[in-house]
Amino acid sequence: MRIIVQKFGGTSVASPEVRELVLHKVKRAREQGFSPVVVVSAMGRKGAPYATDTLIGIAQSAFKQIAARELDQIMYCGEMISAVVMAGTLQAAGLEAVMLTGGNAGIVTDANFNNARILKSDPARIICLLRQGKVPVVCGFQGMTNEGEFTTLGRGGSDTTASVLGAALNAELVEIYTDVDGIMTADPRIVDNARILDCISYAEVCQLAHQGAKVIHPRAVEIAMQKNIPLVVKSTFSDAPGTLITNIAKEDISNAVVIDRVATGVTYLTNLVQIKVQLAGTTASDASYKVFKTLADSDISVDLINVHPGQIMFTINADHTDKAAEKLKQQGYQIEVLANCAKVSVVGGGMREVPGVMANFIEALSNNTIAILQTVDSHTSISALVPQNDVGAAVKSLHEKFGLSN
Ligand code: ADP
Ligand code: ASP
Ligand code: MG
């Protein structure tokens, strides 16, 4: 059996007209000799009646502090509705489609509600349906604990469902259908002349995704990478070939150029605050352990960490500002909070040991009088914290400076 997993995001299942396009993609896969497994997200984006954001709004507008377990029980409903409607669409066209929840599809998770980790994936039921010539239509984003509780896999987690099933079924390919023609050098909502990347390595796309490119969930990439399952990100709305995500080192020589590109893309993360902790009279290492332990105990993750004698700087998600400030003040620390920050990053598998990358990065921002509040770099990325108001200008100028524009 040649198995293909086809995942359709929110905009790809939002209306009857678009669901016809999905039907066409599923039929074509069958004509090409594949046994397709369909994974769907909740229908539409923010504002649509059954979109995940709408469901969260229903719970949180009335009950701001609603517990994570209860929030999951409303969040997973969007994918239920979507999978039923999609299965109905396929059935109406004569295909034997069977709607499955994440639990039905064998996805077992821990009980970390809202961001559950997958413990195992047992594809037996899906294999049985495929052998009977049926088309499983699986709710993305969902898992189930060993105790039978519904969980969700973190925002954007339908991609993770697709990858997990692809890995468990040893699929030939996982297709991630969305509303853009592939992974681009920057978010096309910010940069008009961003380019589609024909192919990209798992490592590069992981970096892009972790640094904010919402086009694919980083865990989906990590899971596919572990089993070397190729992923293709492509559009439901066109026949463009999309972006192949693979272990490029194993591909043919024509892809070798990809490994060497200094910059692959520019990404951004918003809704951050910078916190500076003053360390009077303590050693940096002793105090930083206590500061970071305090935050870890409060379940707050930190990023962009700089530790200096006398001061520690880091960023957190703005939603955790009050909690972090309260906990650190309780420990007697003097802190400064700078709100409305964003992180911009240039990602590239080939930037290691290339002179001038940092100079270009700084020049692009300073030429546009964008304040650099902090920087951090790794062998495949350079990032800066900038005022959130400047994030669009920062992304555009870095995209231009690193030669990524069309
Ligand atoms: P879906 O609902 O199909 O999963 P998402 O909204 O999660 O769709 O992801 C697709 C969106 O990701 C695109 O509409 C695009 O605006 C955004 N995006 C952000 N960064 C990139 C990028 N580097 N390349 C392509 N799309 C990007
Ligand atoms: N519907 C979920 C979300 O909006 C999962 C997904 O779309 O991937 O986060
Ligand atoms: Mg998505």
Is 50 exceeded by the pLDDT of residue 257?
A: no
Q: Cα dist. 297→292, 301, 303 in Å?
A: 8, 10, 16
pLDDT digits 0-9 by tens, 145-162: 999 999 999 999 999 999
DSSP state of 41: P
- Asked if residue 212 has pLDDT above 90, the reply is yes
User: Does residue 140's CB lie within 6 angstroms of at least one atom of ligand 2?
Assistant: yes
Give the angle 3-7-12 at the CA atoms, nearest 5°. Answer: 140
Structural domains in the chain plus CATH codes: 3-179 (3.40.1160.10), 265-401 (3.30.2130.10)
**What's the pTM value of the predicted model, to 2 decimals?**
0.93
Residue having the nearest C-alpha atom to atom 6 of ligand 2? 156
Alpha carbon of 50 to those of 75, 159, 327: distances in Å? 10, 18, 37
Q: Is the pLDDT of residue 252 over 60?
A: no
Residues 115-127, buried b or exposed e (16+ Cβ, 10 A)?
Answer: bbebeebebeebb
- 220 close to ligand 1 (CB < 6 Angstrom): no
pLDDT band at 256 (very low <50, low <70, confident <90, very high): very low
Tell whether the model's pLDDT for residue 250 goes beyond 50: no
pLDDT exceeds 50 at position 303: yes
H-helix segments, 298-402: 321-330, 357-367, 391-401
Least confident of 67-71, 234-238, 378-382: 378-382
pLDDT at 391 exceeding the cut of 90: yes
Confidence of residue 344 (pLDDT cuts 50, 70, 90): very high
Q: Strands 97-100 and 135-139, how do they pair?
A: parallel
Query: Which residue did the predictor score with more confidence, 207 or 259?
Result: 207
Ligand 2 centroid – CA 53 distance (Å): 9
Per-residue pLDDT of 134-147, as tens digits, reads: 999 999 999 999 99
User: Going by CA atoms, what residue is nearest to atom 9 of ligand 2?
Assistant: 155
The pLDDT confidence band at residue 53, using thresholds 50, 70 and 90, is very high
Asked whether 349 lines ligand 1 (CB < 6 A), one says no
